[in-house]
Amino acid sequence: MRRLRAVVRALAAQKPEVVFWSHPNQGAHYTLNAAIHRAKGEFVAILNSDDAYHPERLADCLQVFRDDPGVAVVTTALNVVDEQGDPIHNRWHERGKAFYREIGDLSLALVNGNLLMTTSNICARRSLFHEIGCFSALRYAHDLEFFLGVLARGKRIHFIDKPLVDYRRHASNTIREEVPNAPSRGWRGR
């Protein structure tokens, strides 16, 4: 992370359109919301530090926005990769993609399983965040809560079925934390 900060700081020193900002960890939702509030452009694209975009991703997303002003969010297919960037098979993700391709309905596919998988898969009009709000203070699934909220408010999500994001799975992914077992008596302690 220190190396990444140094690279971005150096880039920001050379290019005034690049802004470097850092703060103590207050949760992913806080960081995402603070960055969105600092954004000045027409679009917001989120890229988490452990994920990667393919070179054409932003251009492809922007083309969709240009071609269809009614689209609020553009997402793409993705590759699940390991710590070295090598593709790995993720059965859960593969089932989600297969379900989407079978039914062709992104909203139903998201309820069935989050095939979009990460906030790194969000490219949105900045105005959308002013309309519907930003990210909730959740520990997990900020992306899914966002996508479902967009759809629930009647906004459109366009899915490019071409893998343009590498979603990195590693031992320190938040979603891989050990979650304490629920009490055996049930949800309400009965």
Distance CA 35, CA 93 (A): 28
User: What number of CA atoms fall less than 13 Å from residue 143's CA on the CB side?
Assistant: 20
What's the pLDDT at 8? 85
One-letter amino acid of 124: A
65-93 tens-digit pLDDT: 999 999 999 999 999 999 899 999 889 88
Can you tell me the distance from the alpha carbon of 137 to that of 175, in angstroms, rounded to the nearest whole number? 15
By three-state DSSP, how is residue 111 classified? helix
pLDDT for 174-189, tens place per residue? 544 444 443 333 322 3
Domain ranges of the chain: 28-171
pLDDT tens readout for residues 114-131: 999 999 999 999 999 999
What's the one-letter identity of residue 111? V
CATH architecture, domain 28-171: Alpha-Beta Complex (3.90)
Q: What is the pLDDT of residue 177?
A: 40
**Predicted pLDDT at 180:** 44
pLDDT tens-digit readout, 102-161: 999 999 999 999 999 999 999 999 999 999 999 888 877 889 999 999 999 999 999 999
